C-alpha cells in the first residue's frame, strides 16, 4: 500500500486508478520476459520491448480477452525458462524449445508446455 523513497520530495512511481491494481513487481535480471495470464496463455518476449517508464499508467505486457496477469518472470534466454511445480521439482525449457512461445510484447500468447503448473505460477 505504501511506497518509500530515498528523496525528501518522493517520486511518482505508477498511477493506478481503481479498479485496476498493480499485480507483479520483479527484479529484472535477464534479457527476456515470460508472462502467463489467468487465461493460461504464455508469452515470451525480449526485455528490450518493455519500455522504461518515467511515470504514467503502465504498459500492456500481454493481450487478454478475459482476466489478467497471473505471473511474470524475467530470465536469460540462453539459460532457458525454469519453473517449479507443486512437488518442488524444477523444470527447464531450453532456448530452442521456446520458439513456439516467443513473440512480441502485447501479443496473446499460447497455451503453456506440458508440465506447467495449473496455478499458472513460475514458482
Whether the CB-CB separation of 70 and 38 falls below 8 Å is answered with yes
Q: pLDDT (tens digit, 0 to 9) for every residue of the chain, 123 residues total?
A: 565 566 656 565 667 778 777 776 766 789 999 999 999 999 999 999 887 766 656 677 888 888 888 999 999 999 999 999 889 999 999 999 999 999 999 898 999 998 899 999 998
Q: What DSSP designation does 111 have?
A: P
**Mode of pairing for the β-strands spanning 69-75 and 32-37:** antiparallel
The span from the CA of 61 to the CA of 105, in Å, is 5
Percent of residues in the chain assigned helix, strand, coil, to nearest 5: 10, 25, 70
* CATH no. of 1-123: 2.120.10.90
Q: How many residues in the chain? A: 123
Domain ranges of the chain: 1-123
Q: What pairs with residue 34 in β-bridges?
A: 44, 73
Amino acid at each position: 500500500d505504501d511506497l518509500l523513497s530515498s528523496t525528501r520530495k518522493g517520486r511518482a512511481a505508477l498511477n493506478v486508478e481503481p479498479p485496476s491494481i498493480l499485480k507483479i513487481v520483479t527484479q529484472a535480471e535477464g534479457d527476456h520476459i515470460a508472462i502467463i495470464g489467468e487465461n493460461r496463455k504464455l508469452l515470451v518476449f525480449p526485455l528490450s520491448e518493455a519500455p522504461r517508464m518515467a511515470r504514467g499508467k503502465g504498459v500492456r505486457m500481454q493481450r487478454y480477452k478475459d482476466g489478467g496477469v497471473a505471473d511474470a518472470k524475467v530470465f536469460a534466454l540462453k539459460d532457458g525458462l525454469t519453473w517449479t511445480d507443486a512437488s518442488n521439482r524444477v523444470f527447464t525449457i531450453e532456448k530452442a524449445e521456446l520458439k513456439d512461445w516467443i513473440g512480441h510484447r502485447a501479443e496473446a500468447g499460447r497455451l503453456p508446455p506440458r508440465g506447467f503448473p495449473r496455478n499458472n505460477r513460475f514458482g
